[in-house]
Structure 1
């Protein structure tokens, strides 16, 4: 499922948060969005998910304008921060709740959650406690798993490596890469961590002051030096 951005603008007072004239993310792309704090990464994702109203322009997922229809939500999974979670539920209750929204039976939810067994590392399921009482890392795991439960054609994850230990970071990198390759889903991730992004994303967009200043082909990890030079100069 392709994503098209057309004359998209969002300001917060005098600050330009996003200003993208035209940009297309092709169906099946695995795109890494990188940039310094305040570059506009999260704002762009929030505009894509119709969580913020654009000042101008639009985002289309497939041929659906996200601000004019809800249809795109059936094929999209996202996790931006733990505000997405219902923290007075247990992870199991939350997974079933998300599954129910997408018409998945409990057995199907159980099967799909089980695929994340290594990622959960025995710390998420069966703990008999509410999400609010979990560590930031385990909340992050619940969010990522819930975003992928319905096997979306578009997956958007903001800083998915945040709060995770190195082992969990390595596992989720494999999961995301395999998911993209096996399903052909369009996967978008933002990250401060250049190494993780370069490792798994064949395409990288560099955002500065809300503008995509570089669109880098990273098919052979060639982006690493270019990005390091950019961030070291800053």
Structure 2
């Protein structure tokens, strides 16, 4: 499954994003959303809109005791462990490996990187492959948690991941991670403390918090130095 998702990510780059690599960021963002909705509708045509149940690693839904103080589903512990492991691997690749340094150079100064002889296509293919691997890991964890497969299952994750990136700071990996955890914490707190009548509108309150944050810090909480220089 992971290999299939990585292959789809690479094909998406070659077909959609490579012809637009010199376009403005807003055009790339619109193209990414258009690709997402195209893939959703393709799955709708192939498999229909009916959700399909799947029993994947059901043993992870069992609860375990933590020092006798609380009982937590094994899946939650596995999710935390996988998240930390993937984050550390991603950080190591970006900061220590040759391809990671090339990615950072291409992101911070694409024109200068090309002038210095950096080939954009291999770097972008590697970046899309990594994005596909992360998407596959998160989708597997979601399927294990919900036990359901349906064509729109990744939309909410995509929206909240995008919000976390924007709130944390575009172009800053640490800021994006902090933004993601912040959005998650706000969501859980609202789900816990909102009155029962208001809980169906939880996401509206989350978007309101995001609006307030971006109104006060338009570049996010932790903008990258590259973004500051442009402003």
Report the TM range for the smaller structure's normalisation: under 0.3
Provide the TM-score with structure 1 as the length reference. 0.24
**Structure with more relative contact order (C-alpha pairs < 8 Å, separation 6 or more):** 1
Comparing both structures, which one devotes a greater share of its residues to helix? 2
Larger radius of gyration: 2
Query: If each structure's strand is expressed as a fraction of its own residues, which one has the higher value?
Result: 1
